[in-house]
């Protein structure tokens, strides 16, 4: 009997994975872990037939503008753009550093402990689960009513769609807003694989960490070889036109980098001085 149930669940998962779905999550996160204020953005989880993709809902508007030949720019506020093959814990990460678009691969296996606690959420019965991953403890609520083992960002592997997810210190909170079947798979070329047409440069995790360190250690390096009269920078309510002026605000800029550096994966965090 147990084998029949397992086989039935497998058939349901296989059927669901043969379809395309879109889940939208409200994402609340702290830019400064010492502050109680949250920044809120909506995120999209596209569950396609062969791949899972996670990105900012705002990017859809920019993609629409690109398709009618409008020129737009978008700087990714934090690392949250992900692509992975169906059923895989190997993710392709996409991110911006100094207005350049990069990608690197990461293996993000996680193990879950499913708990007995249940509740109702959006007319679904959800069950509690816990994992320690990325240097943080996480609590998830998933629903076996939608037996797709996926969730926001890199979180997956439960026997149902993750509908709520948060770390135990409440730095990051994902809450499902909607879930629907898609008639056609959305082409993410402009919003995932490229940054509005700018191709992603392949690097490694260590190279990404070095890029962040270089931005901290040598901010405004692009102005160093320019003549003072050839540029200006508006920052901190000041109009900076000289290298001397940049040196005056360097320490404040570095302080802000550290203040607003609250990476979701602490085990991969850059160690700023």
DSSP sequence for 23-51: EEEEEEE-SSTTS---EEEEEEEEE-SSE
Q: Containing H/E element for 212?
A: helix 205-217
SS3 assignment, position 210: helix
State how far the Cα of 126 lies from the Cα of 2, in Å rounded to an integer: 22
Backbone angles phi, psi at 237, to 5 degrees: 60, 25
Spell out the domains of the chain, with CATH numbers in brackets: 20-199 (2.50.20), 204-268 (no CATH)
d(CA 247, CA 249): 6
- H or E segment to which residue 161 belongs: strand 161-167
Segments in the chain forming alpha helices (H): 2-17, 58-67, 205-217, 243-259
Q: pTM for the complete prediction?
A: 0.88
pLDDT values of the chain reduced to their tens digit, one per residue, 273 residues:
444 444 444 444 444 556 899 999 999 999 999 999 999 999 999 999 999 999 999 888 877 776 666 665 666 666 899 999 999 999 999 999 988 999 999 999 999 999 999 999 999 999 999 999 999 999 999 999 999 999 999 999 999 999 999 999 999 999 999 999 999 998 999 889 998 888 999 999 999 999 999 999 998 888 777 776 677 788 888 888 888 888 888 899 999 999 999 999 999 999 999
pLDDT for 69: 66
Residue 16 host element (H or E): helix 2-17
List phi, psi (to 5°) of 75: -105, 125
């Amino acid at each position: 009997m147990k084998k029949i149930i397992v086989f039935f669940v497998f058939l349901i998962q296989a059927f669901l994975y043969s379809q395309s779905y879109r889940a939208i999550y409200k994402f609340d996160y702290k830019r400064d872990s010492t502050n109680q204020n949250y920044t809120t953005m909506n995120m999209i989880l596209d569950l396609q037939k062969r791949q899972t993709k996670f990105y900012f809902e705002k990017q859809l508007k920019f993609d629409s503008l690109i398709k009618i030949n409008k020129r737009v720019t978008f700087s990714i506020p934090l690392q949250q753009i992900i692509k992975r093959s169906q059923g895989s814990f190997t993710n392709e990460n996409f991110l911006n550093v100094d207005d350049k678009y990069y990608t690197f691969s990461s293996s993000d296996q996680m193990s879950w402990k499913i708990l007995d606690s249940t509740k109702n959420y959006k007319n679904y019965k959800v069950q509690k689960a816990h994992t320690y991953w990325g240097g943080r403890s996480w609590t998830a609520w998933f629903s076996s009513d939608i037996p797709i083992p996926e969730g926001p960002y890199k979180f997956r592997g439960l026997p149902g769609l993750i509908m709520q997810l948060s770390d135990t210190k409440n730095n990051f909170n994902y809450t499902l807003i909607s879930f629907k079947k898609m008639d056609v798979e959305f082409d993410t070329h402009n919003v995932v694989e490229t940054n509005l047409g700018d191709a992603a440069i392949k690097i490694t995790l260590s190279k990404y960490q070095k890029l962040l360190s270089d931005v901290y250690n040598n901010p405004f390096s692009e102005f160093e070889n320019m003549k003072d009269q050839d540029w200006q920078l508006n920052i901190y309510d000041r109009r900076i036109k000289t290298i001397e002026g940049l040196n005056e605000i360097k320490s404040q800029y570095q302080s802000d980098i550290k203040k607003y550096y609250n990476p979701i994966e602490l085990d991969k965090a850059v160690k700023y001085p």
